[in-house]
Amino acid sequence: MKLFPFKSIDGSVTAPQGFRAAGAFCDIKRLGTGKGSNKGQKRDLALIVSDRPAAVAGTFTTNQVCAAPVRLCIARVKRGRARAVVVNSGNANACTGRQGLRDAEAMAEITAAALASSGAPEISPLDVLVASTGRIGVALPMANVRKGILEAARLLQAAPDQAHHAAEAIMTSDTRPKEIAVEFQLGGRTARLGGICKGAGMIQPGMSPTGARPALRSLHATMLCFLTTDAAIGAKILQAALNESVAKSFNRITVDGDMSTNDTVLILANGRAGNPMLTARSADLAIFQAALDHVTLELAKKIVLDGEGVSRFVTVRLHGAKTEADADAAARAVANSLLVKTSWCGGDPNWGRILCALGYSSAALVESGVDVGYSLPGSQKILYSLKWGRATNVPFKALCRITTARQFDLHIHLHQGRASAWIYSGDLTEAYVDFNKGDINDPSSLGG
C-alpha cells in the first residue's frame, strides 16, 4: 500500500456520489436567548441527505450529562442505517429534559416529511439523525427550527451541492468553515470520502460508540463532525474503522479541557461507488482506513487551529511512558495545564512548568529521567531544553525561534518504558477569556 493511497480533492460532504447538502438561516440563537443580534444572518441549520439508504456509524461524548440529540443518535446508529442528518447551531438542546428529547425527535420527523414533500422517496424519521450545538439549557425554538428545515429542504431541491453552506450552518464560535474530501480506488472503482466539522471551545472530546466511557478516559467543546462516503461498506466494519480513526484524531485534541455534552461524529456510507462490499478481510479496507484516518485527523487539527483564542498549535508528543494510560495522562496534564498553555501564549519554551505538570499527573516518572525538546512541524531537528532532567546549553533564543512559531511540536521522553501518546493542543490567551466571560447585559453573548 502506498503511504497515501488517496488524493485530496475539492469539496466536502457532497464530493461522494449520491449526497446532497444545504444550509439555511432560521435565527435559532437570537430567539433562544430573547435578546442580542445574529450578525449578518449566519446560517444555523444544515441538512445532509443520501439519495439511498446508507450504512451508518458514530461516536458520541462520554459526558454523563449528554444532550438529547446525542441520546437519539446513540439509539438510532445501532440500527446500522440512515438517510439524512439534520443539524442546528445556536442551541445545544442539552439539559432540556423530556422536552429536549421530544424536540430532537420532532427535528427528525420534520426533516423526513420535508424531504418526502420535496419529491424524494419516502424516508422513515428513524433514518434521520440529529445534532445540535450552542447554548446549554434553553429549549429549542421549534417554530424556527421547523422553518429552517423546510427552507433547507427547499434549497436542497433547488441546488443539491451547497455543502459549503452546511459547513457554515454548523459553526458556533468557529471563525471559518472546516471542510475536506479525498478520492481513492477500491476494487477498480473510484470512491470518495468527505467531511465537515465544527468546534472552537468546550473542546476535549472523549467519545465512544455508545457514549459509555472507554478504558482510556479523556476529559475534554462541542465538536461535531459529519462524514460521507460512497464506498460500499457494512455498518459494523464502518463503526470499527471510525472508532480507530476517532481514537487517533478527535479524541486526541484539547482546546480548554472541557468535554462537551454534545460531541458527535457521524459517517454515512451509501455504496454508490459500486466497489465490492468492504469486509474485515478486504485488502482494500486498509485504503479506506487510511483515507478515513487522514480526513478525521485533518478535520481534528482544523478545530484546534481555529480554537477559541488559540494563537499557537502545539502537538505534545509523549514518549517512553511505562503504560499507555501513563502516556495519555502525562500528555494531557501538559496539554491542559493553564501555566503551560499561558507560557505557549507568550512563546516561552518554559520546561519548568512542563515538568511540574508531568509531576502531578498520574504517570510514573522520575525528574532525572525527563527530556523536553522542541521542533518545527515536519522537521527532524529537535532542540532539547532538558535532557535527563538537566537544562541543556541550547540558547534560549534558539528555543524561542521554535516556540514563537504558529505551530510547533513539543517532545517529551520519560525514559520509563515504551508507551507513547500524542495530543493536539493550543495556547491559552486573553482572547479565550474575553470571549467566554461574555456579557451578562447581553445574554446572547453567553456561551453553552
The answer to whether 237 and 279 are in contact (CB under 8 A) is yes
Q: How far apart are CA 343 and CA 347, in angstroms?
A: 6
Three cell numbers at 9? 480533492
Interaction pattern, residues 103-142, with a copy of itself; x per rule: CB under 8 A = --------------------------------xxx-----
Does residue 348 bind a copy of itself (CB under 8 A)?
Answer: yes
The answer to whether 321 and 414 are in contact (CB under 8 A) is yes
Does residue 188 bind a copy of itself (CB under 8 A)?
Answer: no
Does residue 327 bind a copy of itself (CB under 8 A)?
Answer: no
Selecting among 14, 111, 172, 222, the annotated active-site residue is 222
Q: Which of 10, 360, 380, 393 forms a contact with a copy of itself (CB under 8 A)?
A: 360
Q: How far apart are CA 383 and CA 227, in angstroms?
A: 38
Q: Which of 12, 17, 63, 275 forms a contact with a copy of itself (CB under 8 A)?
A: 63
Does residue 215 bind a copy of itself (CB under 8 A)?
Answer: no
**Minimum CB–partner distance for residue 406 and a copy of itself (Å):** 16
Q: Which of 5, 211, 257, 320 forms a contact with a copy of itself (CB under 8 A)?
A: 257
Residue 348: exposure state from Cβ atoms within 10 A (0-12, 13-18, ≥19) = middle
Does residue 216 bind a copy of itself (CB under 8 A)?
Answer: no
Q: Which of 116, 159, 286, 339 forms a contact with a copy of itself (CB under 8 A)?
A: 339
Neighbours of 39 (CB within 10 A): 6
Does residue 94 bind a copy of itself (CB under 8 A)?
Answer: yes
> In the window 374-413, what residues touch a copy of itself (CB under 8 A)?
386, 389-391, 396, 400, 404
Pairing of strands 407-413, 313-321: parallel
Does residue 172 bind a copy of itself (CB under 8 A)?
Answer: no
Q: Which of 261, 264, 270, 416 forms a contact with a copy of itself (CB under 8 A)?
A: 261
- What is the residue type of 323? T
The verdict on whether 222 is a catalytic residue reads: yes
159-197 burial, b at 16+ Cβ within 10 Å, e below that, comes to: ebbbbbbbbbbbbbbbeebbbbbbbbebbebebbbbbbb
Catalytic residue positions? 222
